A and B are shown apart, each in its own frame.
Chain A
């Protein structure tokens, strides 16, 4: 029987990786696995509500479906630009890497803006939560107001699920912005926060939601101050994993929440 001798003086370069890849990537996969269960729980809660509630509403007319389809196209395109950014990073093409990352951010921003506009329209028309203040000077749609009163599970699960996803996309944009532009992204983030905060009316949920950008700017500034570095191909790939996951989750939200609740 062969004897196994453990040598502690050998440098770690000789240690094999259990998963055949670097630890940052494994860490991100572990986070994504846990996050998939978070979204899984929310999707199951939505589906549970739908199965167990008689008269589940189908409030999404053609306009909402078209809007959600454009949002989906934005996210799918952002995944393509992200994978091209990863490719540019492994080929050590820094300029193309930054350009593809900025294209990904632009597509993600397009998604968030369209989603925010849709949320605002639904809330103004009466499909709302008790915690959202009423929109002054806007006529409530009787159909939506009835849905919010008779099946409150629908707006609760809808806003929680899509809100959680929108938060993930927003944080993904911040993540990619920091990887692409590093410290230069902090003033941009602060400017975006001011625009989002001051540019939305006080009754809008985005008026307070915009503070996520301020919090992100503070956290990113601390991270960049404590550990300033030039992000390499492995960092871009790990950021890409997060971004693709956000896209992946939407592939289930879009049909389950929008297409299955369409009234054409």
Chain B
């Protein structure tokens, strides 16, 4: 690594030295609790659409916790946060727009 990279890496490491250890345990506990809720809901035999909505909601919260705390994105500068997240979300939205209406159309038309 050149001098710039070493300086940047040391600055990032210096910032991370101040992260509280306890917060990682809280995040881990929250992730385990949400997983337990998901499994509990599975045993409740809910309607599939309602179940899917709740499960995906919980998954998004879990993903946000992992990205924010474990992957340290919440400590990055705004430009880094927005460019990474917006680009991925935009691509996934495009996939949703293309795939799901088509999948629904197939089952509505009865094409096998």
Give the residues in chain A near B80, CB-CB below 8 Å: 19-21, 26, 29
> With A19-B77, A20-B77, A255-B59 known to touch, is A90 a contact of B17 (CB < 8 Å)?
yes
Interface of B is mostly: helix
Q: Is A69 an interface residue (CB 8 A)?
A: yes
* A24, A87, A251: the one within 8 Å of B5 (CB): A24
Tally inter-chain residue pairs, CB-CB below 8 A. Answer: 165
CB contact under 8 A between A252 and B59, given known A11-B3, A37-B91: yes
Q: Which of A20, A44, A65, A72 contacts B76 (CB 8 A)?
A: A20
* A36: nearest chain-B partner, CB-CB: B88
Chain B: interface residue total (CB-CB under 8 A):
63
Bound form: Cα–Cα A175–B12 in Å: 22
Q: CB distance B106 to A52 under 8 Å?
A: yes
Q: A83-B70, A232-B9, A244-B66 are in contact. Are A51 and B100 (CB under 8 A)?
A: yes
20 residue pairs bridging A and B, Cβ less than 8 Å apart: A11-B3, A12-B3, A13-B4, A17-B8, A21-B77, A40-B91, A44-B95, A48-B100, A51-B103, A65-B42, A73-B32, A79-B70, A80-B25, A86-B16, A87-B16, A90-B13, A232-B9, A234-B9, A248-B71, A256-B56
Contacts from B to A (Cβ < 8 Å): 1-5, 7-9, 12-14, 16-17, 19, 21, 24-25, 27-28, 31-32, 35, 38-39, 41-43, 45, 48, 51-52, 55-56, 58-59, 62-63, 66-67, 69-72, 76-77, 79-80, 83-84, 87-88, 91-92, 95-96, 99-100, 102-104, 106-107, 112
* Chain A residues near B (Cβ < 8 Å): 11-13, 15, 17-26, 29, 33, 36-37, 40-41, 44, 47-48, 51-54, 65, 69, 72-73, 76-77, 79-80, 82-84, 86-87, 89-91, 232-234, 237, 240-241, 244-245, 247-248, 251-252, 254-256, 259-260, 262, 264
